[in-house]
Structure 1
Amino acid sequence: MGLPPGFLRDYNNDRSFDLMISRRYFPDPATEEENKNIGFGQHEDASCITFIFQDGIGGLEVLKDGHWIPAEPIDGSIVVNIGDVIQVLSNDKLKSATHRVVRKPGNRHSFVFFLNPHGDKWVEPLPEFTAEIDEAPRYRRFLYREYLELRARNKTHPPASVTHYAI
């Protein structure tokens, strides 16, 4: 991905901020409108990287060029999303994936693992993506914990997005 070797090593010495969750989405046959069939609305993950293990039901969609594209489940596959931390570290060279979950017929079940930095780690564009290639940083430095607190307070995307730290 063009990132320096071992770049996450300093961000992930302590696994206590990583998170694995199991999610179940039940269909709602009474709602036909698209906006009422959203199991989990449009957002970007606050993590470095997110690994998603889907069942065969599907429902995960990714926003591309203004259109929602289904991430159809493929048996034995794992969906990997870039999160906000990688977007900042790469100075926007890699973008956090905007995605959502829509309700589909059947009971959807997924496991999601969020690889996160520890809360006391500073997040800022790496020199490999700024000073070393004569590009200005696009984000100011912030503590990861502060970013999580911002997202928890606002509960929306945006304003609770990494753009809050944009320069």
Structure 2
Amino acid sequence: MKNSFDNFSETRQLLEGFLNDSLGLPPNFLKDYNDDKSTNILLSYQYFPAIKSEDNSATFHQDPTVLTNDKFVSPFHQVVKPKGKSRYVFVIFYNLSGEKWVQPLPQFIKDIGKLQKYRRF
């Protein structure tokens, strides 16, 4: 698991840089915004085969899009349990420390004339 966590973390750093650039944020903004990695978590799940009487999927959901004020939205997604076989899933959560405030960034509200959809939390 430690090796997997390290590999996922390297991938996150690459994606974080691409996302940072595609959102037009200052260099290293997202890296610096989430500078405390101590709350990051890697979870491993085994979904057993679905049976006829049970729903074969996890909750259909979207991830939060607060920073971009919904300009860039997460697609809906879910885990589906395959019929007749197990499925293994790895999920990594990159969490902000409890000291960080989360709110839409100015470049996604005032700078483009949009109303703020989310309160600071």
TM-score, normalising length: structure 2? 0.69
Q: In the alignment, what sits opposite 2:23?
A: 2
1:13 alignment partner AA: D
Cα offset, 1:3, TM superposition = 4.0
Distance in 2, matches of 1:137 and 1:22, equals 36
For the Cα contact (< 8 Å) 1:3–1:90, is it kept in 2? no
Distance in 2, matches of 1:26 and 1:12, equals 35
2:40 alignment partner AA: D
For the Cα contact (< 8 Å) 1:25–1:39, is it kept in 2? no
2:78 alignment partner AA: R
Whose strand fraction is larger, Structure 1's or Structure 2's? 1
Distance in 2, matches of 1:112 and 1:88, equals 21
Count of residue pairs brought into register by the alignment: 98
Note the residue ranges of structure 1 that are not aligned, 5 or more in a row: 45-82, 143-167
Distance in 1, matches of 2:45 and 2:75, equals 19
Q: In the alignment, what sits opposite 1:17?
A: 39
Cα offset, 1:93, TM superposition = 0.8
Q: In the alignment, what sits opposite 2:80?
A: 102
Distance in 2, matches of 1:138 and 1:37, equals 33
Segments ≥4 residues shifted beyond 6 Å: none
Whose helix fraction is larger, Structure 1's or Structure 2's? 2
Q: In the alignment, what sits opposite 2:48?
A: 26
Cα offset, 1:138, TM superposition = 1.3
TM-score, normalising length: structure 1? 0.52
RMSD: 1.8
Note the residue ranges of structure 2 that are not aligned, 5 or more in a row: 1-21
SS state at 1:23 partner: strand
SS state at 2:118 partner: coil
Distance in 2, matches of 1:23 and 1:16, equals 21
Cα distance change on mapping 1:103 and 1:92 into 2, 3 Å: same
2:30 alignment partner AA: L
Q: In the alignment, what sits opposite 1:112?
A: 91
1:37 alignment partner AA: D
Distance in 2, matches of 1:97 and 1:118, equals 25
Cα offset, 1:27, TM superposition = 0.5
1:100 alignment partner AA: Q
SS state at 2:44 partner: strand
Identity, in percent, stands at 41
Write out per-residue CA displacement over residues 65-91 of structure 1, whole angstroms, 9 at most, x where no aligned residue. Answer: xxxxxxxxxxxxxxxxxx31xx11001
Distance in 1, matches of 2:56 and 2:100, equals 33
Cα offset, 1:2, TM superposition = 2.0
